[in-house]
Structure 1
Amino acid sequence: PNGSAVGTVTASDPDAGTILTWSIQSGNAGGAFAIGAGGQITVANVAALDFETTPSFTLAVRATDNGAPALFDEESVTVTLTNVNEAPTVTAAAFSIPENSPNGSAVGTVAASDPDAGSAFTWSIQSGNTDGAFAIGAGSGHLTVANPAALDFESAVPFALVVRATDNGAPALFAEGMVTVTVANVEEPVTAVADARSTDEDTPLVEPDPGVAGNDVDPDGLALVVTAFDATSVLGATVSVAPGGGFTYDPRPSAALQALRVGESLSDTFSYTVTDAGATSSAATVTVEVAGVDAGLVLSKEALVDGTVAVGTSFAFRLTVLNEGPGVATGVVVEDPLPPLLV
């Protein structure tokens, strides 16, 4: 530090009782040293004492006597600096890495400097490395991905890593710097998930938003829109799906479903496609289990087989009875008014 003793310069004079005045005439770069009345050289500017830039100083030191006239003499004084290990400096850095990058992916290289020429560094991460997301090369400062699962844009905040560089001096010294790593978002595809519903052959399914889209997943949390659907199911039911996922499924137009008896059922399906705001799409299938119901007997009548009827002649008209109820119907009475011409 300033004021530290360097050494004492001496002089002699044949004249007894001579008093000498000391000064530094040249070689004192940066005002590194001062010389006292007794020839003592001390440190005057510690910042000028840098072994790496100026390992030694050659000072022209003058001694002036108090005679008449005053006389002086000069000599060279060499001051050699002893090298002392100095701490390195880590350069702050900011990097970005796409989320879910695989293990070993390069993030960036952290840099350090050291006043001591030829210094080598050993690197380590001291804090901020949540879930072991990153690793740093001990001899290189290369930062890489160590745990892809920790790099999730939707849940992660920027990583603030405290990185340490330790030099190979004696004693070893270290410095720390802040390295910020931001996780960049990557568009992740929406996943449409299959649905299952149930109804009977005579009852339409009507479901509001989000309907079939209610269980679909978008990792980025983007809004989902149904962009396509089957207007007719595999078995002929009619289908309508709103953009928000609400839907109507009507089994009544399906001959196969209307033919179901009590205790019978069929699985019908239709598909739809959902798209997120990032323009990724996914399709899923909706399965509807349709049960038969007891519809009883249905009577229908056709026109007279022969519309010309005269007194004393035979005529016929046809009644059709459709049994949509139990497999065997007993005790059934079918009644129908006579045609008007016979009344």
Structure 2
Amino acid sequence: MLDGFADEGFADVWTPVAMSKEVGKAPHGLTLAGERLVLFRDHEGRVSALHDQCPHRGVKLSLGKVSKDGCLECPFHGWRFASGGACTHIPLNPLPEEKRQRYAATAFPVRERGGLIWVYTRPGAEAPEEPTVPSVMEQPGVHVWHYAETWNAHWTRAMENMLDSPHLPFVHRRTIGGGLAKRMKPDSKMEIEVHPTPTGFRTTSRLDEAPAEGSLDWLRPNGMSLNIPIPQRLMRLFMWCVPVDADHTRMMLVSTRDFLKLQPLAALLDRYNKRILKEDQAVVESSHPAEAPPVTEERSVATDRATLAFRRWYLERKKQGPRESAAVAEAPPLAS
């Protein structure tokens, strides 16, 4: 049961799965790593996450409704389930609470932080730790913009793209990579550094020994933070590559800044961020094989150091199943 998480190297992790604004009064069904989940809010607005499958006859609970008592009601026979999965009512079958316990739905730990809804990919009421939510997403005075779209790609290919600096002057030459493209010469050299952090690793890039401009953080397992250096200003972009199934990934973008917060300038910059994301889509969706393969099956070079560090972590994790590696290994030196 729920093998999809382990199959995608995604067992026992926190991940955002939806934007807060997507979950209203009606149940919200979604697929995460091939497994069906349903999010719903009780009468006080608190969000819950259940396996989107009634334990009675296997129908989607997301097709049901939230009852006045804040429980999720199955559309087939009206069984009701509380936030923790407990079955609170079985119509036409009066049973005491102790007997209803065996009819519970499968629940998942869930948090609502930073305008996103986070789920821990292990069934149960508790998670061993809290999600790592970037503090800037909850900081007063910061403009936070949320956007999501689905790509026809495996999440590992999307994640590697987000950690890859060398593609900027080619894929993004008309946007964020324009300055880098102008500075490139036929004999230019880019140096990539990768340093482990408590939440994954930080990677920086330098072109022709010039100082590094900004940095990328991998937020294990499927997040990226782009730190953009602007004097006396704050600007950070976040991306989570959320696996839907083997062929689809939900790209969840969060933009944060302490300037250009008012319309219409705010909307213009937010649309610019969406344009950058669109530039990546066709390239990533063309990747073959769809899932990132073992390191030896593709030809890599020194500037692939960051993406290979992620790939080795992912492949090792899949081999181990739900047990997370104790440390993130940096890719070994490559031929320059």
Which band: TM-score by shorter chain? under 0.3
Which structure has the larger Rg? 1
Query: TM-score, with normalisation over the residues of structure 2?
Result: 0.22
As a proportion of its length, which structure holds more helix? 2
Query: TM-score, with normalisation over the residues of structure 1?
Result: 0.21
